[in-house]
Amino acid sequence: MKTALVIIDVQNDFCFGGPLAVPDADAVIPVINDLIGGFHHVFLTQDWHPRGHVSFVSSHPGHVPFSRVTLPAGEQVLWPDHCVENTPGAEFHSALKIPFGSPVVRKGTRRDIDSYSAFLENDRKTPIGLDDLLREVGVGGIVVAGLATDFCVLHTALDARSLGYDVTVVEAACRGIDTGGSLAAAWKQMADVGVRRA
Ligand code: VGL
Ligand code: ZN
């Protein structure tokens, strides 16, 4: 079986000094750079939001960062504004050694819906594109690394399992946001569906 490395959202806004900096995020970069050499297929995801995105706390006057609201697609955490399309904060961290030509899947690109998974938007039905890209090259398993463990890594791993992929999440190559107990809950959810933790 062919296995691909999927690098989730290693973007400036999630790294040191960013508006949604994940604690110790930059520590994943050397670990991921070491992993990259072992894979023929490397895919990346890029959180890529229009200004005024529904997940931004600035779009919900009177709310504070990390509070939750209910949207048509379900519960939404309100994040500090981050990864606005075509801004430096949305760029991949410059220390990440991206193999030339690696496909990039952008997510969260529509103003009215957020997207944590690289497979399906948060409405749980609109495909984002990673499944087609993996199938095209005959990949049956993925190794997942990046940011953040309890959001985009989690939902990408869960959807991959639903779609029948073998999934391994490399703990040392991921960091979590951990809001309201979300990090421990994420590992539990992943274990429950057979995601391997390496
Ligand atoms: C993410 C919060 C908001 C992530 C993206 O990449 O995990 N988290 N947007
Ligand atoms: Zn986002």
pLDDT in tens, 36-85: 999 999 999 999 999 999 999 999 999 999 999 999 989 999 999 999 99
Alpha carbon nearest to ligand 1 atom 8, residue? 151
Q: What is the pTM of this model?
A: 0.98
Alpha carbon nearest to ligand 1 atom 6, residue? 152
152 CA distance to ligand 2 middle (Å): 9
Of the candidates 42, 47, 62, the residue with the CA atom closest to the CA atom of residue 143: 42
- Distant-in-sequence, close-in-space partners of 31: CB < 8 Å, separation ≥ 6: 145, 170, 172, 173
pLDDT in tens, 115-145: 999 999 999 999 999 999 999 999 999 999 9
**90: Cβ below 6 Å to ligand 1?**
no
| CA dihedral for 153, 25, 85, 77, sign (positive or negative) | positive
The CATH superfamily of 2-49+86-197 is Isochorismatase-like (3.40.50.850)
**148: Cβ below 6 Å to ligand 1?**
yes
**79: Cβ below 6 Å to ligand 1?**
yes
What ranges do the domains of the chain cover?
2-49+86-197
